[in-house]
Amino acid sequence: MFICLWLISIVGYAQKDRGYFQRLNQQYDPVRQEKEVLFSNPAFMSGYSIYSFSDFDAGYGQHKKKTYLLQEGNQSKGIQVKGSSFKRLKNNSVLWGEVVYQDKQHKGVQWNSSLDLDYIGPYVLADSTKGTNKYESYAFMGGVAKQVSNWRFGAEMSYKAQMAHRDRDPRPKATTSDLKLKAGIAYNLYKDIEIGTFAELTSYKQSTDVKFFNQTGRASLYQMTGLGEYSFYFSNKTQDAHYNYNGIHTGVSIVSHEDIDFGLVGYFTHGKLDKQVSSQYDINRLENKQWSIDAFKGFTIGRHRLLAHVVFSFFKREGTDILYTNIDTNLDKLMERKAYKKSIDYSEFSVMYQWEGQRDFVSFKPFYIYQKEQESMLLLDRNQSFTYGVIGGMGEYRRMLSSKSVLTLSTSVQHRAIIQANNQLNTDLMKPSIGQWLESDYLLKSSNCISSNLSVRYDHQLASKLGLYTLVEYQQEKYSEFPVNQYMGVRLGITF
Amino acid sequence: MKKRVLAIIVAVMSLTMTTISCSSDDTAIENDQQSQVSNLRLEFNTNKITGFKSFEKLTVVLVELNTGKEILADLSEDSTKAIVAAKGSYRVTIDGIAILESGDKVGIASNSEVKLINAEDKLTLSLIAKAFANDFIIEEVFFTGVVSKEGKGYNSGKYFKITNNTDKTLSTGGLLILRSAFNSAIKQNNYTPEIREEAMPVGGVLYIPHEIGKEVEPGDFIVVADMGLDHSAQVSTAFDLSGSDYEYPNMDNPRLGQVDSPGVPNALVIYSEMNFNMFFLHNRGFESYAIARFPEGVTVESWLKDYKYDYSFEFAANGRVVDRTHYKVPNQWILDGVNSSVQAAWEHNPIGTSVDSGYTGVGTEDGDPARFGKSIRRKQLGVMENGKPLYKDTNNSTEDFIQWGTEASLKNGIVH
* Domain of A471, in residue numbers: 2-495
Q: Which residues of A touch B404 (CB under 8 A)?
A: none
Q: What angle do CA A481, A485, A487 make, to 5 degrees?
A: 160
**Is the same domain home to B168 and B226?**
yes
Contact A431 B187 (CB under 8 A): no
Q: How many CB atoms lie within 10 A of CB B170?
A: 23
Q: What residue in A sits closest to B191 (Cα-Cα)? A: A328
CB burial of B211-239 (b: ≥16 within 10 Å; e: otherwise) equals eeeeebebbebbbbbbbbbbbbeebebbb
* B328 CB-near residues (< 8 Å, 6+ apart): B195, B199, B200, B201, B202, B307, B308, B309
Q: What angle do CA A223, A227, A232 make, to 5 degrees?
A: 35
Q: Which residues of B touch A268 (CB under 8 A)?
A: 17-18, 21
Q: Which of B112, B129, B146 is the last residue of a domain?
A: B129
**For position A388, which CATH number holds?**
2.40.170
Sort residue B376 into left (φ over 0), alpha (ψ -120 to 50) or beta.
beta
Q: What is the DSSP string of A359-416?
A: SEEEEEEEEEEEEEEEEEETTTTEEEEEEEEEEEEEEEEEEEEETTEEEEEEEEEEEE
Shortest CA gap A475–chain B (Å) = 36
Contact A327 B314 (CB under 8 A): no
Contact A190 B4 (CB under 8 A): yes
ipTM: 0.81
Contact A291 B21 (CB under 8 A): yes
Give CA separation, B318 vs A240, A242, A331, B115, B367, in Å.
18, 20, 9, 21, 26
Distance in angstroms (rounded) separating the CA atoms of residues A57 and A495 = 9
- pLDDT (0 to 100) of residue A152: 95
Low-confidence ranges of chain B (pLDDT < 50): 1-31
Q: Which residues of B touch A325 (CB under 8 A)?
A: 65, 88-89, 115
Q: Which residues of B touch A293 (CB under 8 A)?
A: 15, 18-19
Residue B3 domain-assigned (yes or no) = no
The partner residue sitting opposite B14, judged by closest CB among A252, A325, A338, is: A252
**Is the same domain home to B245 and B335?**
yes
Q: How many CB atoms lie within 10 A of CB A269?
A: 18
| Omega before A432 within 30 of 0, i.e. cis | no
pLDDT exceeding 90 applies to what percent of chain B?
Answer: 56
Residue B13 domain-assigned (yes or no) = no
Per-residue pLDDT of chain A (496 residues; tens, 9 = 90+): 444 444 444 444 444 446 899 989 989 999 999 999 999 999 999 989 888 999 999 999 999 999 999 999 999 999 999 999 999 998 889 999 999 999 999 999 999 999 999 899 899 999 988 899 999 999 999 999 999 999 999 999 999 999 999 998 899 999 999 999 999 999 999 888 999 999 999 999 999 999 988 765 678 889 999 999 999 989 888 899 999 999 999 999 999 988 788 999 999 999 999 999 988 899 999 999 999 999 999 999 988 999 999 999 999 999 999 999 988 777 889 999 999 999 999 999 999 999 999 999 999 999 999 999 999 999 888 999 999 999 999 999 999 999 999 999 999 999 999 999 999 988 887 888 899 999 999 999 999 999 999 999 999 999 988 999 999 999 999 999 899 999 999 999 999 8
Q: Which of B85, B113, B129 is the last residue of a domain?
A: B129
The partner residue sitting opposite B65, judged by closest CB among A220, A233, A252, is: A233
Phi then psi for residue B400, to 5 deg, are -80, -25
**Is the same domain home to B48 and B116?**
yes
* A39 CB-near residues (< 8 Å, 6+ apart): A45, A48
Shortest CA gap B35–chain A (Å) = 10
**Minimal CA–CA distance to B344: which of A226, A433, A339, A174?**
A433
CA atoms within 13 Å, Cβ hemisphere of B128: 21
**Is the same domain home to B187 and B83?**
no
**Is the same domain home to B118 and B192?**
no
The partner residue sitting opposite B22, judged by closest CB among A232, A291, A326, is: A291
**Is the same domain home to B292 and B272?**
yes
Q: What residue in A sits closest to B24 (Cα-Cα)? A: A316
Contact A379 B33 (CB under 8 A): yes
Shortest CA gap A413–chain B (Å) = 32
Contact A231 B64 (CB under 8 A): no
- pLDDT (0 to 100) of residue B18: 42
Q: Which amino acid is at A92?
A: N
Q: Which residues of B touch A329 (CB under 8 A)?
A: 189
Q: Which residues of A touch B17 (CB under 8 A)?
A: 268
* Domain of B206, in residue numbers: 136-407
- pLDDT (0 to 100) of residue A4: 44
Q: Which of B107, B129, B151 is the last residue of a domain?
A: B129
**For position B80, which CATH number holds?**
2.60.40.2100
Number of domains into which chain B is organized: 2
**Minimal CA–CA distance to A411: which of A467, A359, A472, A461?**
A472
Q: How do B246-247 and B221-225 pair as beta strands?
A: parallel
- pLDDT (0 to 100) of residue A401: 94
- The beta-carbon contacts of A27-35 under 8 Å, at least 24 apart in sequence, are A27/A51, A27/A53, A27/A55, A27/A495, A30/A352, A30/A354, A30/A363, A30/A365, A30/A396, A31/A298, A31/A305, A31/A307, A31/A352, A31/A354, A31/A363, A34/A296, A34/A307, A34/A309, A34/A350, A34/A352, A34/A365, A35/A263, A35/A296, A35/A307
**Is the same domain home to B180 and B67?**
no
**Is the same domain home to B81 and B163?**
no
